[in-house]
Amino acid sequence: MKEINITTSFLVFDTFQELPNDIQDLMNQAVEIRKIAYAPYSKFRVGAALLLDNGKIVLGSNQENAAYPSGLCAERVAIFHAGSIYPEAKILKMAITAASDTNQTQAPIPPCGSCRQSIAEYEIKQDTPIEIYFMGETGVIYQSASLKNLLPFMFDKKFL
C-alpha cells in the first residue's frame, strides 16, 4: 500500500484593494450580477464573471426553481453562456462572489462540486488553466491558479 499526498496552494488577498485592477473590475461585475440573482428559496445569491481571451466578459447569477434541482449555479450559467456565444474563446479568469440575504458571508465561497466539474470540462477542453478568484460578501479573497487546485482528481473524457 502507498499513500499519495496532494498539496494545493492559493493566494490570499486580505483586502479587495490588493487585487490587480483587472480582477477588481471582474469581481465588481460579479458583485453586481450577484445582486440580481434569482434566489427566492435559498436566499443565497451568487455572481460569476468570466474574462475570455477575446476580451469579452460574460456574467452569470444563480437561477433557482421550486422544482429542485432544476435551478443552475452562477458559475455554470456564465460558463455555459460563454461556451454557447463564444465557442472558440478560452476562459482566462473567473471571479465568484456569494452573499446571503439572512447573514453576512465573510469566508470565501468556492464553487460547488457540479460547478467544479463543469469548469474542469472547459479547462481541459481549452488546455489552459482558468484562474479562479472567490470571495464571500466581505473578507479575504482566494485565488486558485487552476481548477486542478480545487479538484485534483478531475473526471474527464479520457476515462470514457
Query: Catalytic residue positions?
Result: 75
Per DSSP, 54 falls in state T
d(CA 74, CA 70): 13
- Determine the Cα–Cα distance for residues 74 and 62; give it in Å rounded to an integer: 4
Which candidate, 155, 150, 97, places its Cα nearest to that of 121? 155
Judging by DSSP bridges, how do beta strands 91-100 and 131-135 pair with one another?
Answer: parallel
